[in-house]
Amino acid sequence: MKNKLNNLTNKEWLKFQKSWFIHNPPPRKKGVLVHPAKFPETMAQEFIEFFTKEGETVLDPMAGTGSTLVAALRAGRNSYGIELNPKYAKIAAKIIEDERKVLGEKVEGLTSKVINGDAANALDLGLATFDYVLTSPPYWNMLRAKGSENQQKRRDSAELDVHYSDDPNDLGNIEDYAKFLEGLIEIYKRLKSLLREKAYLTIIVKNVKKGGKIYPLAWDIARELGKTYTLKDEKIWLQDNQSLAPFGMGSAWVSNTFHHYCLQFRNE
Ligand SMILES: C[S@@+](CC[C@H](N)C(=O)[O-])C[C@H]1O[C@@H](n2cnc3c(N)ncnc32)[C@H](O)[C@@H]1O
């Protein structure tokens, strides 16, 4: 097989083609615990290794504490991240620096750059073209909702953030769902001119529950962004190590939602 997309063997390629996977995040390192919602580098690496070749360049426009960039380094890819919150951008830069020390010579020629800024201004940052975008947005303003046990534990700790920031440009601070969705889609749409022709964009996201109903964030992104990129597929990320909570028990159906959608779009 002539492989134009990545450096995987046929067997590795086939394995990734399954439409669902279980990935239980390994325990987080101390520095990144402060961030309320990151995805695991180990999972990001699998996506990067499927959707790019070694030496290509990945962008995460909402980079948080830099999971995509760390994964890209480990996979031998260049990477750029944009992150609004200066605290997270600083943590990301430090984590990348540490990772570079661990990986040593083999990553010497690779670029990994975190830019502290607003993803809405991505086109003004003088960035070149990317071969892949891997990202995860704020799940609307859910971090501000009275929430899960996990949030409660974080609230009790002075060191851990329970929401990303108070910055008005932080999408996680937009109260109105329609406005939030519009702002988010606009950011993703603008990235089109930075994405190479035929390159992929993966968005990791959940539908969100609020006030006793579902706001289908993943499905809304799929529908709206499918007008700009080709919506190719979904891959379902299952977490199988979470504690079940008795939400609604005895009176109403409320699921314990332990799955995320990894939405695949292509610039074509
Ligand atoms: C779900 S988190 C991303 C976590 C990241 N994937 C990781 O693993 O660390 C979403 C991030 O988007 C950032 N954010 C929110 N609005 C933004 C904006 N307008 N521009 C750039 N980043 C933004 C938040 O500060 C938050 O870190």
Rounded distance between C-alpha atoms, residue 5 and residue 28, angstroms: 31
**Res 37: pLDDT:** 74
Q: Is the pTM of this model over 0.85?
A: yes
**Res 31: pLDDT:** 65
Q: Where are the domains of the chain?
A: 33-266
Strand positions, DSSP E, 206-254: 208-210, 213-215, 230-238
Q: Which CATH architecture does the domain made up of 33-266 adopt?
A: 3-Layer(aba) Sandwich (3.40)
Pocket lining: 99 vs ligand 1, CB cutoff 6 Å: no
**Res 149: pLDDT:** 45
Q: Copy the structure tokens of residue 52.
A: 């790019």
Pocket lining: 34 vs ligand 1, CB cutoff 6 Å: no
How far, in Å, is the centroid of ligand 1 from the Cα of 64? Answer: 5
How many other β-carbons are positioned within 10 Å of the β-carbon of residue 143? 18
How far, in Å, is the centroid of ligand 1 from the Cα of 81? Answer: 10
187 near 122, Cβ under 8 Å? yes
**Res 252: pLDDT:** 93
Which of 192, 28, 140 is CA-nearest to residue 95? 28
Which of 167, 157, 195 is CA-nearest to residue 59? 195
Consecutive H or E run containing 59:
strand 57-60
How far, in Å, is the centroid of ligand 1 from the Cα of 182? Answer: 16
How many other β-carbons are positioned within 10 Å of the β-carbon of residue 125? 13
> Which residues, listed in sequence order, are joined to residue 203 by a DSSP beta bridge?
135, 263
How far, in Å, is the centroid of ligand 1 from the Cα of 229? Answer: 21
Strand positions, DSSP E, the chain: 20-22, 57-60, 78-83, 112-116, 130-135, 195-205, 208-210, 213-215, 230-238, 259-266
Tokens 């937009």 belong to residue: 174
The two beta strands, 195-205 and 259-266, are: antiparallel
How many other β-carbons are positioned within 10 Å of the β-carbon of residue 64? 26
Q: What is the pLDDT along the chain (268 residues), one digit of tens a residue?
A: 789 999 999 999 999 999 999 998 877 766 666 766 788 999 999 999 999 999 999 999 999 999 999 999 999 999 999 999 999 999 999 999 999 999 999 999 999 999 999 999 999 999 999 999 999 999 998 877 765 545 566 566 666 666 777 888 899 999 999 999 999 999 999 999 999 999 999 999 999 999 889 999 999 999 999 999 999 999 999 999 889 999 999 999 999 999 999 999 999 9
CA-nearest residue, atom 13 of ligand 1: 62
Residue of 74, 87, 170, 184 to test ligand 1 pocket, by largest number of atoms within 8 Å of CB = 170
Tokens 């020629």 belong to residue: 109
How far, in Å, is the centroid of ligand 1 from the Cα of 2? Answer: 36
